Amino acid sequence: MNKIYNPDRKEWKAILKRPTQTVADIEGTVSDIFREVAKNGDAVLKKYTAEFDGVSLENFLVSKDEIEAAVKWVPNELKEAILLAKSNIEKFHKAQKSERITVETAPGVYCWQEKRPIEKIGLYIPGGTAPLFSTILMLAVPANIAGCNEIVLCSPPNKEKKIHPAILYAARLCGVTQIFKVGGIQAIAGMTFGTESIPRVYKIFGPGNQFVTVAKQLATKYGVAIDMPAGPSELLVVADDTANPAFVAADLLSQAEHGVDSQVILVSTSKSIIASVEREVEKQIQKLPRRAIAEKSVANSKLIYVGNDRTALDLINEYGPEHFIICSAAEDFYVDNIRNAGSVFIGNYTPESAGDYASGTNHTLPTNGYAKQYSGVNLDSFMKSMTFQKISADGIREIGAAIESMAEAEGLQAHKNAVTLRLKSLEKY
């Protein structure tokens, strides 16, 4: 692990650089596949499913019989865990509902705002070595609370032409309307343009590798919204001598095992904690099934010592971590002053894993420094705010002259006339 002591502020940008890879070659591949899918639909999905996933499919839609069969394979203990997580996620996201906001801005001028659901959304759920069924809970649960009509899910098939049973169980439980055995770039393209099988959606959610990330960004050029720019998972822990080194090490490794390009950082005002955490990481990593992945990720990790909490906070806000864990006697200082973080975990008994699965908050969060300007997924991510207004005769009298004056000043005579005609029609009353 890379240990850095009292880095100069001029060095922070270089020290905090993410281990992202170039996407120049990926962009060309993504653009080519998008053009093919837009032109030839399902035929292209079949072509790339065979090429990238190694299976030939005639039908992408997962049948009800397949779902029922898969549900039987999910152990009861896991089903109970998923139900608990779903309940907590529902509680937290239902609490985010807001009422209509109505204001009479001037006598006779009524304005209000209401939120309406996005009608059609698409969920991308990775399969592979880590089938992220938990992400279905994080996305489909708030989508249902918001009232989205169509929830389309795409996930890559395995060599047996199936989707992981836990993914199918969670999808059925959370009200997903259609499930398709399509992964990668072709899945994002299918939901962007629509094919003979896959409906076109209005907004796409979900994580993925660099190919999926670039594909989602390209989808925005074709009128489809996405949840947020995304990148490899990341975690930053701030810890002092009140922290438990074993807990901190376990949290760092929990994110390191996501992928070889994940990044984990420890910032501390204690050199002894840094040494203890490093020893714990070396010990715990030996027992991980995904050790090879975690080891490569840990090679990108940083152990940073700074002299005081103010410097630590400034460095953390500069980084803008996806996940931020606070294990410090100065807990309130960090909670009150953190400005850039996707989700914050407070105290020795609040592991980041809780947010990933079952505490109730959403785990779909901004990475790569986007926490400086993006929120994580929440109920509003599945809704649109619409404004309404109704103006009475007295209301147009109240603000009409101001509208006329402003429109004339901007040289927009038709705008002025739209008000002038109404005001003249009221002169006889």
What are the start-end ranges of the H helices in 241-348?
245-256, 271-284, 291-298, 309-319, 331-337
Residue numbers of the chain with a pLDDT score lower than 70: 20-22, 129, 429
Six-digit token string for 131: 């089938």
Tell me how far apart the alpha carbons of residues 356 and 133 are, in angstroms, rounded to a whole number: 11
Q: Are 326 and 312 in contact (CB under 8 A)?
A: no
Instruction: Check residue 361 and give its pLDDT.
Output: 98
CA-wise closest residue to 368 among 14, 16, 1, 10: 16
Domains 2-17+231-360 and 24-104+116-226 fall in the same CATH topology: yes
Instruction: Check residue 259 and give its pLDDT.
Output: 87
356 belongs to an annotated ligand binding site: yes
Measured CA to CA in angstroms, residue 354 lies from 47, 89, 183, 231, 260 at distances of 39, 11, 27, 21, 22
Assigned superfamily of 2-17+231-360: Nitrogenase molybdenum iron protein domain (3.40.50.1980)
Tell me how far apart the alpha carbons of residues 375 and 96 are, in angstroms, rounded to a whole number: 14
**Residue 32 burial by CB count (10 A; 0-12/13-18/19+): exposed, middle or buried?**
exposed
Bridging pattern class, strands 323-327 and 263-268: unpaired
Residue 241: partners with Cβ closer than 8 Å, 6 or more residues away: 270, 272, 273, 329
186 belongs to an annotated ligand binding site: yes
**Catalytic residue positions?**
322-323
262 belongs to an annotated ligand binding site: no
Instruction: Check residue 28 and give its pLDDT.
Output: 92
* Element (DSSP H or E) covering residue 204: strand 203-205
Report which DSSP code applies to 92: H
CATH number at 392-425: 1.20.5.1300
Tell me how far apart the alpha carbons of residues 26 and 408 are, in angstroms, rounded to a whole number: 51
User: What is the pTM (predicted TM-score) of this model?
Assistant: 0.94
51 belongs to an annotated ligand binding site: no
25 belongs to an annotated ligand binding site: no
CA-wise closest residue to 138 among 77, 92, 181: 92
Bridging pattern class, strands 109-117 and 383-391: antiparallel
Residue 346: partners with Cβ closer than 8 Å, 6 or more residues away: 325, 326, 331, 335
Instruction: Check residue 1 and give its pLDDT.
Output: 82
CA dihedral sign, ordered 48, 176, 122, 21: negative
Number of H helices, E strands in the chain: 17, 14
Tell me how far apart the alpha carbons of residues 126 and 132 are, in angstroms, rounded to a whole number: 6
| CA trace torsion 349, 352, 353, 358 (10° rounding) | 80
363 belongs to an annotated ligand binding site: no
CATH number at 24-104+116-226: 3.40.50.1980
Instruction: Check residue 210 and give its pLDDT.
Output: 86
CA-wise closest residue to 135 among 146, 144, 145, 125: 125
11 belongs to an annotated ligand binding site: no
User: What angle do helix axes 210-219 and 24-40 make, rounded to 10 degrees?
Assistant: 60
CA-wise closest residue to 175 among 199, 155, 206, 149: 149
What backbone phi and psi angles, to 5 degrees, belong to 142? -65, -30
255 belongs to an annotated ligand binding site: yes
Domain parsing of the chain, residue ranges: 2-17+231-360, 24-104+116-226, 392-425
CA-wise closest residue to 190 among 162, 222, 232: 222
Q: Are 429 and 396 in contact (CB under 8 A)?
A: no
Q: Are 124 and 394 in contact (CB under 8 A)?
A: no
- What DSSP line would sit under 117-185, residue for residue? E-SEEEEE---TTS--HHHHHHHHHHHHHHT-SEEEEEE---TTS---HHHHHHHHHTT-SEEEE--HH
